Copies of this chain bind each other. A is one copy, B any other.
Amino acid sequence: MDRAPDVRTGKLPAVFLDGLSAIFAERAHLADAMRRQHGSSESHFAVSLPDAVVFAHSTEEVVALVKLCVEHEVPLIPYGAGTSVEGNTTPVRGGVSLDLSEMNRIVAINADDFDVTVEAGVRREELNAALRDKGLFFPIDPGANATIGGMAATRASGTNAVRYGTMREAVLSLRIVTPDGRDIRTSRRARKSAAGYDLTRLMIGSEGTLGVITEVTLRLHGIPESITSAVCGFETLEGAVNTVVQTIQLGIPIARVEILDDVQMRAINLWSKLDYPEVTTLFFEFHGTESHAREQTEMVGQLAADNGGGAFQWSNLPEERSKLWKARHEAFYAAVGLRKGAIGWPTDVCVPISRLAECISQTKKDLEGASMPAPILGHVGDGNFHVIFVLDPDSKAELAEAEALNKRLVKRALDMDGTCTGEHGIGLGKQDCLVDELGEAVDMMRVIKRAIDPKDLFNPGKIFSLDQDQ
């Protein structure tokens, strides 16, 4: 264990530090740089350092760590790739940041069953690389190259969710270490089960507050025979959104459909050196047999034309597709790149699809007078969209302005019977919104949290505060 001169770990008793050393040896870190890395986030939240960082290599090590933390009442915060955006991994009460990124073995690929078991630290791009020659893929794609464990913990989704679902649907089973130090599996590998409480789904989206996910068994899909991508700009935002709504309502099994507004398209053109028209644009992808993918493409092309879409540029060339989705995946960095030295705060809401056009246009209107760039983009097939506030990190006024805009955005979504977050989770940033959304149901979450983690040591301070029952 490094014990550099800049260490400020007075909070951790020596006997605890000795315990860490015994389990992790040189994989336990107290140095400032490592702690800072694990106390920062990609978004606008204040840095809050863990007292130590450890890199686990096995579930057995996690069990030992959990027992040590519980014995000494030290908080424990599971950490994957650090790509979450609501402060989900920030150690607000110090403690140990448990980095799982080196638990990155692919445990078993069951190609005939279309499933795979991976350690929590495997990243989704690595997984897809390992699956490719089996003709399989893992569809959940939140943009960032997140870890599978982190994606499960935040109930991530992304561009393919409209067809393939979210982590809620993708996970078959979890291996977790519970706060009482047990190493359990939440389910077997059958594709469905009615055997007892759905612990798998309870853990998915619990953001590390109920235990540590160390392995994940995922459903996979066959790489489609044919993949077609398309891009189309629209005269109006309503035209773009209505194209999506009609596609969903016709039951066309579109694989991806993403909206990017004019501001976001300008950002992408600048960042990725492209020359798309700077208007509200949809990116599409269609999966199927060759004839079925073509049929879907033609049907949606017609809908786009009916709704004031411009040229419907489609292609089944892999390089065209890559260009499109690379640009989409870099949208966050492109947005932040609109302004030198800026930081980005991506927020998200999700509404019933019949209210989507209204919700996006009202939001767009609300953003018109904003003093910072704030592009809109999202997974519109699910009714889910993001605003990225591109902020001067030194301006408190801008942060306050963005907070007010975000608050109005969430209220707008809730008034439409939507949710305050489609995929980013609650973390630190949306705790009040969660109460606005679900009211007393949050107390039931608190009851569960208190029962499973009675000392409040697992990622404490996230999702809800424990002492504010309704």
Chain A positions within 8 Å of B, measured between CB atoms, are 110, 112-115, 154-157, 161, 165-166, 168-169, 178, 182, 184-199, 201-202, 204-206, 210, 221-222, 224, 245, 248-251, 253, 289, 291-292, 295, 350-354, 382-384, 413-414, 417-426, 430, 433-434, 437-445, 447-448, 450-452, 463-464
Contacts and interface: CB of A to CB of B under 8 A. Distances in A.
B353 A113 contact: yes
A418 B189 contact: yes
Given A202-B202, A418-B188, A196 B438 contact: yes
A205 B198 contact: yes
A423 B112 contact: no
A194 B353 contact: no
Nearest to A167: B194
Contact of A196 (B190, B201, B445): B445
A165 to B, nearest CB: 7
Contacts of A384: 190-192
B196 A463 contact: yes
B439 A192 contact: no
A150 to B, nearest CB: 12
Residue among A113, A185, A202, A424 with most chain B CB within 10 A: A113
B155 A194 contact: yes
Contacts of A185: 438-439, 441
Given A112-B354, A182-B443, A188-B418, A222 B250 contact: yes
Contacts of A433: 195
A350 B440 contact: no
B191 A350 contact: yes
Given A201-B168, A450-B451, A196 B350 contact: no
Given A197-B202, A422-B194, A434-B195, A184 B441 contact: yes
Number of copies of this protein chain within its complex? 2
Given A202-B198, A434-B195, A422 B190 contact: yes
A115 B352 contact: yes
Nearest to A222: B251
Contacts of A413: 190
A114, A191, A384 — which one has the most chain B CB atoms within 10 A of its CB? A191
B354 A110 contact: yes
Contacts of A221: 251
Nearest to A210: B197
A337 B162 CA distance: 45
A191 B452 CA distance: 28
Nearest to A355: B113
10 contacts: A112-B354, A168-B201, A182-B443, A190-B350, A190-B383, A195-B421, A195-B433, A196-B434, A197-B205, A198-B202
Contacts of A251: 221-222, 224
Contact of A166 (B192, B204, B437): B192
Contact of A192 (B249, B382, B434, B440): B382
Nearest to A470: B182
- From A221, A418, A433, A434, name the one whose CB has the most chain B CB atoms within 10 angstroms: A418
Contacts of A113: 352-354
Residue among A186, A352, A382, A441 with max Cβ neighbours from chain B (10 Å): A441
Contact of A190 (B206, B418, B438, B464): B418
Contact of A194 (B112, B154, B450): B154
Contacts of A463: 196-197
B195 A383 contact: no
A184 B445 CA distance: 12
A249 B197 contact: no
Nearest first, the 7 A-B pairs at minimum CB distance are A451-B451, A201-B201, A112-B354, A193-B419, A190-B350, A222-B251, A184-B441
Contacts of A414: 188
A197 to B, nearest CB: 5
Given A423-B192, A448-B452, A112 B249 contact: yes
Given A190-B351, A194-B421, A291-B295, 20 more contacts: A113-B354, A182-B440, A184-B438, A185-B441, A187-B419, A187-B438, A190-B352, A190-B383, A191-B383, A191-B384, A192-B350, A192-B419, A193-B419, A194-B423, A194-B424, A194-B425, A195-B434, A196-B438, A198-B198, A222-B251
